[in-house]
Amino acid sequence: MNIVRAWRTLFAPRCKAFLLIGLLSLMTMGAAHGTSWGESRKNARAQAAELYTAAEAAVKNFNVEAPISQMESLKQLRGLMQRCRATRGCEQARIIEQYEKLVLDAAADSQALPNDTNAQATNAQATTALLAKSRGQLIGAALPEMHRSMTLLRGKRLAELIELNGPVKAAMGDWLSSMRPQLIEAYKNYAYLRPLMLPAYQKAELPEALLFGIMAKESGGRVHAYSSAGAVGPLQFMPATAMRFGLLTHNGFDTRLDPSAAANANARYIIEQLGKLNNDLELVLAAYNGGEGRVGRLYAKHKQGFWHDAVYESLPAETRYYVPSVLAAAYLFLHPGKFGLSFPDANGATVEVKLGNAVSLSEIAICLGQVGREEGWFRTLRNLNPAAKPDRRLPAGTLFRIPEAALANYANQCLNTSFMTQVAALHEARVPSSASLVAYVVRSGDTLAGIARRSGCSSAGIIAQLNEIPAPQFTIKPGQKIKLPSCG
């Protein structure tokens, strides 16, 4: 209480005085500069009005029948958006809305040209590309060339740190013979995951080859990889470790499947364990596979590296094979030519497109075909859109990531109404016939997801489609009679 009284006595009057002085100063400044402030606001409004007028002019010049005019108009609008961002009081939404409307209108018009396939393809391709780039979703161009990203680990070249001993050479032989298809497939998958995963390693100043080696061994670049032990994702995080590094489940999505989040957690784990294990890369990899507790105890007891007999022989056979396999894959990533290995060229840049209609990932994989990838794009699409269920249709307006290499075919096929009608028939053929349906009465507390989980025969989306229950709420009521697929 004495402190409070002292504060009131000494400081409160002074604070009041300072406040009065400050208010008087502001009032004086306002009186002195009121005219200039008013002029500034007036000028800003005038500049914003000029930008709005220029945007309207660009819209008027937009001609669906002339792709070059379209592009010029859209480029003008992009420039106006940037100027608007730097202009006080300018409402960017007014220009952005006009821009996106033009792109979507052009895409719709391109689909309404049944008698001119070439014009349809040209317009659809142009508008799809412009829409993707307008949203700033082009990824990959700014990343360094493959193999030329950081190759140092704690100031030493990674290739020099990898001891080419018997186990590493044996693992290299496996990668180059029976496992060569897996290595090539891992590289192809990584090419498209790279823009999402590499930034975490660059930020942590870890070598890219190490990321590739771990991913190649753990999952082969398949984002939806699940092990019998409970590890999940492209970098195979176990539940406890995942939780420690923030890989949780959000709205039903396991973030271990998120390539960016998984790479970030992996980089943090590597840095943490390097600090604990005397920067010994082999021990860190052993900890990642065999458990940090076990490896930590072995290191504390013997103060020796991974290859020392006392440590090596105390580890499980799986870990003794895992470590040299990762090192061998990393070495081959850096030096493919030494053993006649040739990795395929792949443009890993990706773009996000805005879906015009409800469509599933599987349907998009079908319409993309094999252009740019002879085995098709299904795996790549799964990797780039990990939260999407392959056979569940995504609502119109969803942003969906595809490889830039497949963008032209997306415009040619996936925006072709007649072709997509055929693809939709394939999707709808998955819906069970009436002969294989059973009746169900909704009970209190039921949800479509819960019913689908209990039945084990279908998904909430297919049940909703069978019963014409509108998405995305999928609202059902107690006593409601619905049809369910039978497991037979």
pLDDT, average across residues 388-396? 91
Q: In whole angstroms, what separates CA 336 from the centre of its chain?
A: 28
Render pLDDT for 317-357 as a digit per residue (tens, 0 to 9). Answer: 999 999 999 999 999 999 999 999 999 887 788 999 999 88
Name the pLDDT band for 17 (thresholds 50, 70, 90).
Answer: very low
CATH number of the structural domain 434-485: 3.10.350.10
Check pLDDT > 60 for residue 107: no
Asked whether the beta carbons of 467 and 482 are under 8 A apart, the reply is yes
Asked whether the beta carbons of 109 and 120 are under 8 A apart, the reply is no
pLDDT, average across residues 450-466? 76
Highest mean pLDDT among 96-105, 123-132, 415-424: 415-424
- Please report the pLDDT score of residue 117 as a whole number: 43
Asked whether the beta carbons of 410 and 420 are under 8 A apart, the reply is no
250 or 188, which is more confident: 188
- Please report the pLDDT score of residue 417 as a whole number: 92
Instruction: For the chain, give the secondary structure using H, E and C.
Output: CHHHHHHHHHCHHHHHHHHHHHHHHHHHHHHHHHHHHHHHHHHHHHHHHHHHHHHHHHHHHCCCCCHHHHHHHHHHHHHHHHHHHCCCCCCHHHHHHHHHHHHHHHHHHHHCCCCCHHHHHHHHHHHHHHHHHHCCCCECCCCCCCCCCCCEECCEEHHHHCCCCHHHHHHHHHHHCCCHHHHHHHHHHHHHHHHHHHHHHHHCCCCHHHHHHHHHHHCCCCCCCECCCCCECCCCECHHHHHHCCCCEECCEEHHHCHHHHHHHHHHHHHHHHHHCCCCHHHHHHHHHHCHHHHHHHHHHHCCCCCCHHHHCCCCHHHHHHHHHHHHHHHHHHCHHHHCCCCCCCCCCEEEEECCCCECHHHHHHHHCCCCCCCCCHHHHHHHCCCCCCCCCECCCCEEEEEHHHHHHHHHHHCCHHHHHHHHHHHHCCCCCHHHEEEEECCCCCCHHHHHHHHCCCCHHHHHHHHCCCCCCCCCCCCCEEEEECCC
Longest dimension (CA), the chain: 91
Q: Which residues contact residue 371 at a Cβ distance below 8 angstroms, ignoring those fewer than 6 apart?
A: 406, 408, 409
Asked whether the beta carbons of 194 and 202 are under 8 A apart, the reply is no
- Please report the pLDDT score of residue 121 as a whole number: 46
Beta strands 399-403; 350-354: pairing state:
antiparallel
Asked whether the beta carbons of 81 and 96 are under 8 A apart, the reply is yes
User: Which of these ranges, 210-219, 400-409, 465-474, has the smallest mean pLDDT?
Assistant: 465-474
- Please report the pLDDT score of residue 487 as a whole number: 57
Residue 237 φ/ψ, nearest 5 degrees: -80, 135
CATH number of the structural domain 152-339: 1.10.530.10
Residue written as tokens 């753990």?
Answer: 218
17 or 408, which is more confident: 408
- Please report the pLDDT score of residue 116 as a whole number: 43
Check pLDDT > 70 for residue 215: yes
Asked whether the beta carbons of 321 and 174 are under 8 A apart, the reply is no
Asked whether the beta carbons of 188 and 377 are under 8 A apart, the reply is no
- Please report the pLDDT score of residue 19 as a whole number: 40
Q: Which long-range contacts (CB under 8 A, 24 or more apart) does 19-27 make?
A: none
Name the pLDDT band for 464 (thresholds 50, 70, 90).
Answer: confident
Residue 271 φ/ψ, nearest 5 degrees: -60, -45
Asked whether the beta carbons of 423 and 358 are under 8 A apart, the reply is no
pLDDT, average across residues 403-425? 92
Render pLDDT for 150-173 as a digit per residue (tens, 0 to 9). Answer: 777 767 788 788 889 999 999 999
- How high is the mean pLDDT of the chain? 80
pLDDT, average across residues 194-200? 93
| 233/387 Cα distance (integer angstroms) | 12
- Nearest of 79, 105, 91 to residue 45 by alpha carbon: 91
- Please report the pLDDT score of residue 37 as a whole number: 52
pLDDT, average across residues 377-390? 95
- How many residues in total does the chain contain? 488
- Please report the pLDDT score of residue 261 as a whole number: 96
| 110/120 Cα distance (integer angstroms) | 5
| 328/337 Cα distance (integer angstroms) | 14
Check pLDDT > 80 for residue 82: no
- Please report the pLDDT score of residue 65 as a whole number: 45
| 405/459 Cα distance (integer angstroms) | 32
- Nearest of 92, 79, 124, 119 to residue 105 by alpha carbon: 124
Check pLDDT > 60 for residue 105: no
Asked whether the beta carbons of 341 and 133 are under 8 A apart, the reply is no
Name the pLDDT band for 457 (thresholds 50, 70, 90).
Answer: low
| 110/356 Cα distance (integer angstroms) | 13
Where do the domains of the chain lie? 37-134, 152-339, 350-428, 434-485
Name the pLDDT band for 436 (thresholds 50, 70, 90).
Answer: low
Render pLDDT for 279-309 as a digit per residue (tens, 0 to 9). Answer: 999 999 999 999 999 999 999 999 999 999 9
Q: Please measure the distance between the N-terminal and C-terminal CA atoms of the chain and give it in whole angstroms.
A: 80
Amino acid occupying residue 222: R
Check pLDDT > 50 for residue 18: no
- Please report the pLDDT score of residue 10 as a whole number: 45
- Please report the pLDDT score of residue 69 as a whole number: 56
User: Which of these ranges, 36-50, 247-261, 282-296, has the smallest mean pLDDT?
Assistant: 36-50
